[in-house]
Structure 1
């Protein structure tokens, strides 16, 4: 009985110290995650002068409670004197579905407060919000938008999730959905083309944040950051380059990962002044484009990717070329307790894999079994794994090697061009998976070439063409393997869009 009293006192003290969230609109209960429901935070005793209410919009595969469960964003806003609202969108739907829903509901929220709101959006929530504004008429209800690491140009992790090697795992854990489909970089290039040229795109000002931290080795966002490092600075899920818009004001790029960037103690004080009525907006496209040009970089080929399904004992062999300073074997699985043994070309064995649960928006629900080795010997390494039941997996081998900068790809016309340094002797295969405009896999094709020659991108209809290029060969007499993944979008007129 005494323990119960102590628990009750502690719980009551905690409950009274945190502002409550009340329901509004047609809400019947407080369960987070019901699309279209929205909530109003407790009204501060003193409302900040000349302030707008804040509408918080969550990202991909998330829900409204991301702002107040294990996050002090709501508490920080409340204690600073701001009225707040939170909305649940469709966690796995496209920016079109969520944009239409948000435009409908933000009108209700506007009517509740009697004034425009400032939207603070995390990740894909920023893309959903822009869709609501530009394509679904939400302008009259939103004063301005602040995006926290929103993938305005998509994410290469979405490309990876839809690649031919990752499909097994992504399908099992549920990350192949309309939301992930729409964030592939090819599709987002198409989205930018039908959004940025609209006359009303300048009506509502945008302000952006980007992050550059992925966390330490083995942390939940480290693995996404490791993969994205080939594409530039990133926060474990979105690159800094993708977090920017050519007509937005960039408030800050800082040492945040994709989770901490939405925490009140991290960023609220940096955007607090942008919540007030006195803010003015004068976008400078020319200055942004000059700054953005310095961020542009050609992606390096620093990964070898493979995957599939198996039951019982399974082996994967990975080539490690001469001169590699570091290699990380990351076995990503839907099982936590997979048994793994790594064997070097000289038969030395390693079994001390770190196991980490993935917390990214693209592979949430998977487990990373990983090991990093410095100055590994060259040759074929063998990874042997055992599972008592069917296991879906994705093996991402990340290299730090001079070879990384010797391979590249680009799209010219309807050709995918693979370029290899003359020091490399390589053959390439390209697997194209065509997903129609509804996200359904319609066709899978493979082409094989020697010496890095061009691949033709077929025109099979409107949709995303996800291309996985497997490179095999030699470097300085030692075996070499790499994987290049890229997506393009072809519209209903046959026009191709590529990042």
Structure 2
């Protein structure tokens, strides 16, 4: 009898070994590979697939329950659920491998196929798990919420010459952020889409709201504005896959799109719809990912000395400016001096968000600005890495884009509104997420991209308006990736 009891005990121990990392929602999150079984529904319905929730970059499983009732919504609607922790700072391949192992565990635990709901990069990690690590057999459907399937220009900004100083000092550079650069994701898409064997498993949702002036997503939304509609971190076009059921773009920002009260009722119909019959509620065709030059911004950044001063030019006819000065110090108190001598000191200060979490943004909007040379001074009193972003609402934006596209290797160009347009190209080669190597600067010709790896390309446009009395400046930033075959992935910005 004792021998039988021992055998039963061993069998029970072995049967539970696969779920040694399972916990209860509310336990301390953050350990990669640990997953939590959600609260048991009062009326369990085994015809409903269990839901697995996957967090995004710099996040954890608590994102679904901390000031978010998504976990509770699953319970109230009769769904069993699980919440998993992945690496918050690793790329989609490393997270995909870990996730595939855990999806197998969760599938065996519940005994039926799963629906995975991924927020932001969590949606990309999920596809990596299915495509590269054979998790397809465990998953019935994947729902992505604001996922950057084509990357985000904000990651390009963080790895650019001007934007990297602040990202580095804030500790934001990581394999995760590195992988979300648009050139890196273009290479990922090129490979992954060819390998995807069950493309109709994917359902996508996107947001087009990034709040108002002074909000935490304002920086991202303003920078991404010229790339198209966005949620403050990811453009709408990036969230959609050509072969997916791209269901709906709503008035959500990058945070609210994962909120249970606002989103669960929206995607609930998709939880029961068959993969084959699911149809888009948005009748519009998928909009292409923008490959145009975003010629409405000027970017400058670096490791500053005390009381750093930067200058930029505002051309005649500019309708409005949005000026943002980012650094580590809330009390930086920057001041802006207009060409007529007016001094602005009443800038709004707020905490910054992706990809500059931990920084403070000091910003102001100016209507009908005086044309000429403007300056901004930090007044930080100490060495302080900084990033200056100036967004222009100007008729010249489109004209610069057209002129730049036509100019080719020419260093000057004339048009109806432009007397002269010049460009300087700066390129940085990356061996990995932490190390960069400047290549060369050219006043007119493009840098040759031959070596395998990632390249951050910054193009500075300067010139004179047709009147010959008003200077202007703009900055275009892109990341390109050269694969082992020499193929360039991403949009070449010159």
**2:239 is paired with a residue of what secondary structure?**
coil
**Bigger proportion of residues as strand:** 1
2:173 pairs with 1:176: yes
Decide which of 388, 395, 408 is 1:402's aligned counterpart: 395
Shift of 1:445: 2.3
Partner of 2:427: 432
Q: Show structure 2 runs of 5+ residues with no match.
A: 1-17
Secondary structure, counterpart of 2:176 in structure 1: helix
Q: Hey, what's the Cα distance between the residues in 2 that align with 1:31 and 1:49?
A: 28
**Aligned residue in 1 for 2:41:** 44
1:392 maps to what in 2? 385
Deviations 1:104-128 (A, max 9, x none): 1111111111111100100000000
Specify the alignment match of 1:498 in structure 2.
490
Partner of 1:327: 321
Structure 1 residues 274 and 468: CA distance shift in structure 2, 3 A: same
2:271 to 271, 275, 290: 275
Contact 1:149–1:210 (CA under 8 A) maintained in structure 2:
yes
Deviation at 1:310, TM superposition (A): 2.2
Q: 2:255: which partner in 1?
A: 259
Q: Give the alignment's Cα RMSD to 1 decimal.
A: 2.6
Aligned to 1:386, the other structure's residue is in SS state coil
Distance in 2 (CA, whole Å) between partners of 1:129 and 1:421 is 49
Partner of 1:232: 228
Match of 1:456 in 2: 447
TM-score (norm 2): 0.89
Is contact 1:60-1:123 (8 Å) kept? yes
Contact 1:24 1:39 in 2 (8 A): no
Contact 2:238–2:289 at 8 Å: present in 1 too? no
Instruction: Say how many residue pairs are matched.
Output: 466
Q: What's the TM-score, normalizing by structure 1?
A: 0.88
Q: What residue in structure 1 maps to residue 456 of structure 2?
A: 466
Aligned counterparts of 1:26 and 1:400: Cα–Cα separation in 2: 52
Q: How does 1:58-73 map to 2 (within 5 A)?
A: 58-73=55-70
Counterpart in the other structure of 1:210: 206
Residues of 2 paired with 1:59 and 1:105: CA distance? 16
* Contact 2:412-2:422 at 8 Å conserved across structures: no
User: Residues 311 and 296 (structure 1 numbering): CA distance in 2 closer, same or farther, change over 3 Å?
Assistant: closer
Cα distance change of structure 1 residues 201 and 442 upon mapping to structure 2, 3 Å threshold: farther
User: In structure 2, do the counterparts of structure 1 residues 282 and 194 end up closer, same or farther at CA, with 3 Å as the change threshold?
Assistant: farther
Q: Structure 1 residues 228 and 418, CA, compared in 2 at 3 Å: closer, same or farther?
A: farther
Query: In the alignment, what sits opposite 2:285?
Result: 291
Any unmatched runs of 5+ in structure 1? 1-22
CA contact (8 A) 1:326 1:376 kept: yes
The answer (yes or no) to whether the contact 1:408–1:419 under 8 Å persists in 2 is no
Within 5 Å, give how 1:137-216 maps onto structure 2: 137-202=134-199, 205-216=201-212
In the alignment, the residues of structure 2 paired with residue 34 and residue 152 of structure 1 have an alpha-carbon distance, to the nearest angstrom, of 25
1:367 equivalenced with 2:360 (yes/no): yes
